[in-house]
Amino acid sequence: MADELSVEETTVPGLLVVRLPRPEDARGWFKENWQREKMVALGLPDFEPVQQNMAYNADRGTTRGIHAEPWDKLVSVATGRVFGAWVDLREGPSFGSVFHLEIGPDTAVFVPRGVGNSYQALEDGTLYSYLVNDHWRAGTAYPAVTLDDPTAAIPWPIPLAEAEVSDKDRANPRLEDVEPMQPRRTLVVGAAGQLGRALAAAFPEADLVDHVADAGAGIEALDLGDPAAIAAWPWAEYGLVLNAAAYTAVDEAETPDGRRVAWQVNAGGPAALARVALAHRLTLVHYSTEYVFDGTVADHVEDEPLSPLGVYAQTKAAGDVAVSVLPRHYLLRTSWVVGEGRNFVRTMQKLAHDGVSPTVVDDQVGRLTFTDELARATRHLVTTGAAYGTYNVSNGGEPMAWVDVARAVFALCGRSADDVSATSTAAYAEGRSMAPRPANSTMDLSKLRATGFEPEDAGAALERYVLTTGERP
């Protein structure tokens, strides 16, 4: 019997043995069968159980399994003793690995999604329970393997010929014939945009959706403003959602029509996904902007209070608030995004090609963020298990003004940097209907770097982008 609560790893990745203290006296014994705070601190996943099931075996030798359910579970014995055997039926290098253990009231086992589990009662009147983090649904199919599979070679204490086994379990296939359980899928929302295309390349296994379907690009339609469409989507099949959908027409957002669309897309969309993520225990990655700040701070940090200036900025800030309350979220704030499609760098390339000499503001300062770099940072954070929360993400290097970016593009296109003249934001906005913009867009990247990610220098990325894409003389 354990004196202290402990959590032990096994030969099956993610399968954990929990040793439970069980103090006794003349009245009997007591145990904490599920103690979230203590167990999570010791390494048990915070799997958020939603249902408890009880299984009673009247006779010694009753044997159940081997089934791999599409949810996590914590199995423990209330009375009696059982021999437990687990076979990894998940797709991947650990497929087919086996672990077995005799468990009683002082032991629990955490079984991750896709690991086949089976139990043989060693005493009459055995009762065991299991907490699961999804509701059982009739007709749900999942992988199973026969109890006497020669590859698994499970040493059943009571020979299967003498055991009580259901006809269904006797008919399960051998391990070599089992279709492995696939991992939960990834969904890219807003896949038709600049960032969405970069995310699709960085996550080639992902499903792609946008507000309208694009059959040529393999993009399905999912309107986040349609509650019926959201309710009909098979969210239970997903583990990660990347929300690249955004309304980015900063000036148009100041108009009556633009204001309505901006609030629907930038605030309503993230709020809808946050509700879905909470209900289905998904990890949500949402992309924001330095526009949520007023630009009066030279170097923005993640916990700076929100201070949006215009409508676009206000809607993005509202989306940030909706996402930030989720237990599993990455809120990635970025700046000056450049990717496939229309953007500032492409515009400067075309002007250079066409012989135009533009005037560009010199009092807005920040760093470019190339979409492939933002996608790379996303992949890094979700695959390394970085702590959930808000991260600033941009390319690295020294901050630049927009006029500096334009002059660098002109030089790379073979034009003189002097062909780009400078002006102030106030002078440029004179006579134009423009939304306010933050003067300082530079973000502190130390939190991102602390995860082991080193952003590529923006100047190097700009040179590669200009020399390999878009218009050139």
Catalytic residues: 67, 130
CA distance 220 to 212: 7
For residue 198, what are the contacts with CB-CB under 8 A and spacing of at least 6?
339, 340, 371, 372, 374, 375
Count each helix (H run) and each strand (E run) in the chain, helices first: 13, 25
CA distance 267 to 120: 52
Amino acid at 83: F
What is the DSSP track for 123-176?
STTEEEEEEESS---TT----B--TT-TTT----SS-GGGSB--HHHHTPPPGG
Q: Is 413 left (phi over 0), alpha (psi -120 to 50) or beta?
A: alpha
283 close to 332: Cβ distance less than 8 angstroms:
no
CA distance 90 to 93: 9
CA distance 374 to 332: 9
CA distance 353 to 331: 37
What tokens appear for 212 in the block?
């309208």
